[in-house]
Amino acid sequence: MNETKIITNNVNVYYGEKQALHNVSMNMQANEVTALIGPSGCGKSTFIRCLNRMNDVIDTCKVEGTITIDGYDIYSKETSVEKLRERVGMVFQKPNPFPKSIYENVAYGPKIHGIANNKNELDEIVENSLKQAAIFDEVKDRLHEPGTALSGGQQQRLCIARAISVNPDIILMDEPCSALDPIATARIEELMEELKKDYTIVIVTHSMQQAARVSTKTGFFHMGNLVEVDKTEVIFSNPSNKKTQDYITGRFG
């Protein structure tokens, strides 16, 4: 078993009066894909957005409990969200490239963090990120065309390239394939297989098959509770909780 990368301990999340997550405690290992499944509105997206503090944008959102990455409490006062998000990248449900060129989409992160010292280094980072996201060959001749002109699957891989351009440790994926067709989905799944060698991946998915295919560990969320978390084989073959059993067999959700 790989070393533990992310530890969450008794995480409670409130949107105003409403509590969205109840005492979620789970660990995520480095260089593994951890999948979060559950019916709509169960809190899995809320949970994943706590890991890079994207919930900070919502005024009414309040997070309790501790989340540590490599032993550092990311909700401590000293944490800078900008630095945190540099190390914890995110890919969203709907592909959201900037309405700029493919090159600029990938170069933006390195530019604002001052990672590249000159144009050549930046070019190299862009090329490597696109290669790692398995899209370089498709776009190498049109790096300066708008990223929004690509197909949905290509856009999503471009967003993955953008996420890895700042050299993060962790990539969070919030239903990255829900807007894609099966072929594009298959490509992203292959890509995850490659990426987990270098990154820790946490993926939220609606598709149980996808969770079964790509993840090492799976957590099942229901009504804001983490019902069960275990090795993926165990969750899908021999879950210990009745609700998990019902969900994976399609009795609700």
Partner 1 sequence: MSFVNLNDNNLQKRLSREFRFKVYCIMAMTFALGFVLFLFTSIFSTGYSAFYKTMIPIEISLSSVVSDSNSFALMTNEEINDLSIYSLSKKNIYNLFPNITDRKEKKEILKIFSYEFEDEIKNFLKDNKENINDINIIYLTASDDIDQLHKGNFPRDIPEKRRRLSDLQLSFYDELILENKIETEFNFPFFTRGDSREPELAGIGGALAGSFFTIIVVLILSLPFGLLAAIYLQEFAPQNKFTDFIEININNLAAVPSIVFGLLGLGILLNTFGMPRSTALVGGVTLSLMTLPTIIIATRAALRAVPPSIREAALAVGATRMQAVMHHVVPVAMPGSLTGAIIGIAQALGETAPLLLIGMVAFVVDVPSTPVDPSASLPVQIYLWAESAERGFVEKTSATIMMLLGLLIILNLTAVIIRRKFETKW
Binding site for partner 1 (CB under 8 A): 52, 54, 57, 59, 82-86, 89-90, 92, 94, 96-99, 108-109, 112-113, 146, 148, 159, 162-163, 165-166
To the nearest whole angstrom, how small is the minimum distance from the Cβ of residue 5 to partner 1?
18
To the nearest whole angstrom, how small is the minimum distance from the Cβ of residue 161 to partner 1?
11
Residues 129/161, Cβ–Cβ less than 8 Å: yes
With respect to partner 1, which residue has the nearer C-beta, 13 or 90? 90
Look at residue 146 and give its three-state secondary structure: strand
Residues 75/62, Cβ–Cβ less than 8 Å: no
The H or E element spanning position 161 is helix 152-164
With respect to partner 1, which residue has the nearer C-beta, 150 or 248? 150
To the nearest whole angstrom, how small is the minimum distance from the Cβ of residue 239 to partner 1?
32
Question: Which tokens in the block code for residue 220?
Answer: 């099942």
To the nearest whole angstrom, how small is the minimum distance from the Cβ of residue 34 to partner 1?
18
With respect to partner 1, which residue has the nearer C-beta, 98 or 136? 98
To the nearest whole angstrom, how small is the minimum distance from the Cβ of residue 147 to partner 1?
10
With respect to partner 1, which residue has the nearer C-beta, 53 or 217? 53
Nearest to 8 by CA among 52, 54, 39: 52
Question: Burial code of 213-241, b = ≥16 C-beta within 10 A, e = fewer?
Answer: bbbbbbbbbbebbbbbbbebeebbeebee
To the nearest whole angstrom, how small is the minimum distance from the Cβ of residue 10 to partner 1?
26
Strand bridging mode 217-222 / 200-204: unpaired
With respect to partner 1, which residue has the nearer C-beta, 165 or 218? 165
Burial class of 111 by CB neighbour count within 10 A (0 to 12, 13 to 18, 19+): middle
With respect to partner 1, which residue has the nearer C-beta, 3 or 82? 82
Nearest to 193 by CA among 9, 31, 40: 31
